[in-house]
Structure 1
Amino acid sequence: MENLEYPLISVIMPTFNREKYIKFAIESILNQTFTSFEFIIIDDCSNDATYDIIREYAKIDQRIIVLRNKANKGIVFSLNKGLQLSRGKYIARMDDDDISMPTRLEKQFQIMEKDDSIIVAGTYFKYIGRNPDSFASWVNVYEHDMVKIKMMFECPICHPSVIMRKNFFKKYNLKYSQEYQYAEDYKLWLDVLQNGGKIINIPEILLLYRATNLSISRNKKTSNLQQIRSRSILFKCRELFLDTKSKNLLRDFCNIPMELSKKQEIYKKIQRIQIAYQGNRDSVQKILQYFCGVFSDIHICFIFDNIQLQGLINGIFSILKNSSELDRFHFYILHNGSFQSEFSILKLRRIKDFELSIIDICKINNENISQYKTLYFKFLFALTQLKIEKCLLISSRFVVMDSLNFFWNADFEKKIIVATSSCNLEKMELFRDEFLIQENFESNVIMINLEYLLKNNFLKEILFYDKTFYFHNEILSKEEIIMNLIFKNNW
């Protein structure tokens, strides 16, 4: 039986005009496996059915406390009102259109009870209606030192996912700042850090986040204010943790999310910060790994017959130019006796050193290669003779805009191929209508698990299709169709 007078957690949820979604938010809290909580809902003078819906729920569950502002005061006012009236040992945040996973409060309570040095604990989350296996990348740091470092670039905590230790906020008189409205949470986390508090993320998806049209329009109207205030906060973070030299290095990273910045530039900045940072340098290394990847020997194979020399030079140039110090390259140029320009490629070593192998498939002493009719599959078979575990295969003109480190280190998850979904609507319709393939991939840039390819019978399958399959279409090539037919469940 819950102790209504002394709840362990106070859940605070401001709301305004959210009649469409508020039922989902309320029920997700009422259905928590952890039951010792009060649920403070502050209606900011809604002019739709939101307030009536809240009152109906309050009639059937005594844990709900309904408050209503006399006029529309804004979220900061409502949040501080909830903080002031809360009775719980911990304070959990909730937004009026999100959904908390059933075990959210239970798991957060256990974490806070286990380690009393933790002041704020957020969680990973995913967007409602998007890929169910993915989660928002900007909260993908969980250790305190990593959170602290990322605070110097952007806010790494999802506000509606947090639980907070109330006595810490009371001791230091911390509350949301009206001055930093639209970035009030970011400022509050900075205040916690300035007072020696520890902030973490629980590395588990415990919240479903809804990006509604209302929130998008609100962001458009207030984006300038949000950017200005967020920028002010991240500068304050840098003042707190870095010396003058390191702060100057970071001037370029103001409002652009780290995930949207080039890995090469991020690597240079963070590597230099690591020298000056006064905290745990291992954490800086983890941040470096998180944003830029790990030291990697990247094997890239080009089918020269489909790429003209200048296109090949431009492509390799873009790879080298946009790489970081973590990336080392071995390039393989596959051809059928037509490549005579090794020196033109080697001149690119002025940018960055690399290994180069020129492979004439006509000189490969293996009778199996001659059985394939399509040149693309002759080259694919030739890859299996290279004695490498995996490679990137590029068979068309290309330009790389950033480091390939993350793509190279993508988890195969026991699949044969890592590829990108096609964005060509005509191709997508053809694959659906003609071959019943709901999602096709582009075969011109793929990463192949050569070990799996050899261990299984896929090469024999490819050979069978190559000899027997015929489909004439100006949009789809034969090799693209065969690759999608064979690997439709293995990419």
Structure 2
Amino acid sequence: MDTNMTVPIISVVMPVYNAEKYIVEAVDSILNQTYSDFEFIIIDDCSTDASYEILQSYAAKDNRIRLFKNDVNKKLPKTLNFGISQAKGKYIARMDADDISLPERFAKQIKFMESHPEIGVCGTWLVEFSKTGEKPVTPNITHEDIIVTMYFSNNCIAHPTVMMKSSIFQQQNILYNENHMGIAEDYALWNECLNNDVRFHNLPIILLRYRIHDNQTTSSNFTKIQSHAQQIIISNLRKYFHSAISENNLLIFANSKKISKLKLSIYTNIRYIIVCLMLKKHNVKRNLFNPQYFNAMLYSDSIVNSIEIRLKGLLLGIKKLHSGKNYGS
């Protein structure tokens, strides 16, 4: 990289492992951003395919790219921590080697971050796509909504969409947990950030195309990721509610999170609803979280909401069937 370059505003950090099928689209989507004041830190985690050779050809043509190669496969958290240690920018933008950032992503995130200095982590909406189709993913937007969802329900910050303040890592000494070995390392990081009063926001704009394929970590390690996430939820429940709600009831709530309420017995659903009522009461009593968002989070996983979603799908199917008959008559 040219040492005479001014310090970039953004440091893009992208780990790569055996991504030769998708790496060209990923790199091009970053280099073609409308906002161009960035360095592109790419770390090849000892790929066994042609990924590194492809990246070398890019690095030879664009001096914004800083290319590194691990001598052994160090897994995602350690590779990310190394990339962040090399970052010079005010902000760190994450990117994955199999995804596609839309051209306005950095421009829109920078504009928001610069005008909202209280925000430490900014994600975006996205589109999941695969060989069979695509669907939009529209996670929670505000910090108050994100914190209750993140603590007690699920990961609502899409890792490859985020732009973060570098100071989170440099001054607050927060890092990816290398013991996670690439399993829910982002969920653990977001929770640590929240525990250190870092504020979050999701831009309600689709700015990334997230590729679904059989070789990605999320697909191959789904059960392990779910297990790690559940342990994080249990830890948060104990932290905020152990004084008012028994361990057994907290585990009923946590264990029910990973299963559709329609698949649980009536008895288990009743117990789950009772625990939710206890959580709502204690939250108001202790003034822990915004009741509007906390109660909405509880409702979103309830049997009532599950039935409503099922009924809406059924009614939509009947409506389509009925309109088709009318069209054919």
Name the counterpart of 1:25: 26
Q: Give per-residue Cα distances to partners, 1:281-307, cap 9 Å, x unaligned.
A: 122234356556xxxxxxxxxxxxxxx
Q: Equivalents in 1 of 2:18, 2:189: separation in Å?
A: 25
Q: Equivalents in 2 of 1:38, 1:256: separation in Å?
A: 44
Name the counterpart of 2:281: 275
Name the counterpart of 1:230: 229
Describe the SS at the equivalent of 1:135. strand
**Aligned pairs (5 A) from 1:66-145:** 66-129=67-130, 132=134, 134-136=135-137, 140-145=139-144
Q: 1:481 to 1:112 in 2, by over 3 A?
A: closer
Q: 1:229 to 1:286 in 2, by over 3 A?
A: closer
Q: Equivalents in 2 of 1:227, 1:14: separation in Å?
A: 22
**Aligned pairs (5 A) from 1:276-291:** 276-277=282-283, 278-288=288-298, 290-291=300-301
Q: Equivalents in 1 of 2:226, 2:309: separation in Å?
A: 30
Name the counterpart of 2:241: 242
8 Å CA contact retained: 1:94, 1:160: yes
8 Å CA contact retained: 2:176, 2:189: yes
Q: Which has the larger radius of gyration?
A: 1
Q: Equivalents in 2 of 1:210, 1:281: separation in Å?
A: 35
8 Å CA contact retained: 1:238, 1:247: no
Name the counterpart of 2:153: 153
The alpha-carbon deviation at position 232 of structure 1 amounts to 2.1
Equivalent residue in structure 1 for 2:316, among 406, 416, 419: 419
**Aligned pairs (5 A) from 1:259-338:** 260-262=260-262, 269-277=275-283, 278-288=288-298, 290-291=300-301, 323=304
**Aligned pairs (5 A) from 1:351-362:** none
Q: Equivalents in 2 of 1:287, 1:269: separation in Å?
A: 14
The alpha-carbon deviation at position 14 of structure 1 amounts to 0.2
Q: Equivalents in 1 of 2:230, 2:325: separation in Å?
A: 50
Describe the SS at the equivalent of 1:419. helix
Name the counterpart of 2:168: 168
Name the counterpart of 1:379: none
Q: Equivalents in 2 of 1:49, 1:279: separation in Å?
A: 49
Task: Work out whether 1:54 is the aligned partner of 2:60.
Answer: no
The alpha-carbon deviation at position 83 of structure 1 amounts to 0.6
Q: 1:143 to 1:22 in 2, by over 3 A?
A: same
Q: Give per-residue Cα distances to partners, 1:153-209, cap 9 Å, x unaligned.
A: 221111111111111222221111112231111111111011111122222211111
Q: How many residue pairs align between the two structures? A: 312
Q: 1:442 to 1:482 in 2, by over 3 A?
A: closer
Describe the SS at the equivalent of 1:213. coil
Q: 1:210 to 1:246 in 2, by over 3 A?
A: farther
Q: Equivalents in 2 of 1:255, 1:37: separation in Å?
A: 43
Deviates more, 1:151-160 or 1:254-263: 254-263
Q: 1:126 to 1:244 in 2, by over 3 A?
A: farther
Q: Equivalents in 1 of 2:253, 2:100: separation in Å?
A: 32
**Aligned pairs (5 A) from 1:372-391:** none
Q: 1:289 to 1:254 in 2, by over 3 A?
A: closer
Q: 1:323 to 1:198 in 2, by over 3 A?
A: closer
The percentage of counterpart residues that share the same residue type is 31
8 Å CA contact retained: 1:16, 1:43: yes
Higher relative contact order (CA 8 A, sep 6+): 2
Describe the SS at the equivalent of 1:245. coil
Q: Equivalents in 1 of 2:224, 2:293: separation in Å?
A: 31
The alpha-carbon deviation at position 253 of structure 1 amounts to 4.0
The alpha-carbon deviation at position 19 of structure 1 amounts to 0.6
Q: Equivalents in 2 of 1:19, 1:245: separation in Å?
A: 52
8 Å CA contact retained: 2:11, 2:39: yes
Equivalent residue in structure 2 for 1:482, among 308, 312, 325: 325
Name the counterpart of 1:39: 40
Structure 2 letter corresponding to 1:147: I
**Aligned pairs (5 A) from 1:405-416:** 407-408=311-312
Q: Give per-residue Cα distances to partners, 1:16-50, cap 9 Å, x unaligned.
A: 11111000000111111111111100001112111
8 Å CA contact retained: 1:190, 1:237: no
8 Å CA contact retained: 2:45, 2:73: yes
Q: 1:270 to 1:207 in 2, by over 3 A?
A: farther
Higher helix residue share: 2
Describe the SS at the equivalent of 1:116. coil
Q: Equivalents in 2 of 1:271, 1:484: separation in Å?
A: 48
Name the counterpart of 1:192: 193
Q: 1:481 to 1:84 in 2, by over 3 A?
A: closer
The alpha-carbon deviation at position 53 of structure 1 amounts to 0.8
Describe the SS at the equivalent of 2:20. coil
Q: 1:239 to 1:27 in 2, by over 3 A?
A: same
Alignment RMSD, CA only? 3.0
The alpha-carbon deviation at position 240 of structure 1 amounts to 3.7
Structure 2 letter corresponding to 1:149: V
Deviates more, 1:240-249 or 1:93-102: 240-249
Q: 1:88 to 1:405 in 2, by over 3 A?
A: same
Q: Equivalents in 1 of 2:258, 2:206: separation in Å?
A: 21
Q: Equivalents in 2 of 1:184, 1:289: separation in Å?
A: 27
Q: 1:484 to 1:285 in 2, by over 3 A?
A: farther
Q: Equivalents in 1 of 2:40, 2:297: separation in Å?
A: 36
8 Å CA contact retained: 2:238, 2:250: no
Q: 1:268 to 1:71 in 2, by over 3 A?
A: same
8 Å CA contact retained: 1:227, 1:255: no
Structure 1 letter corresponding to 2:317: T
Q: Give per-residue Cα distances to partners, 1:398-419, cap 9 Å, x unaligned.
A: xxxx4226755x9xxxxxx962
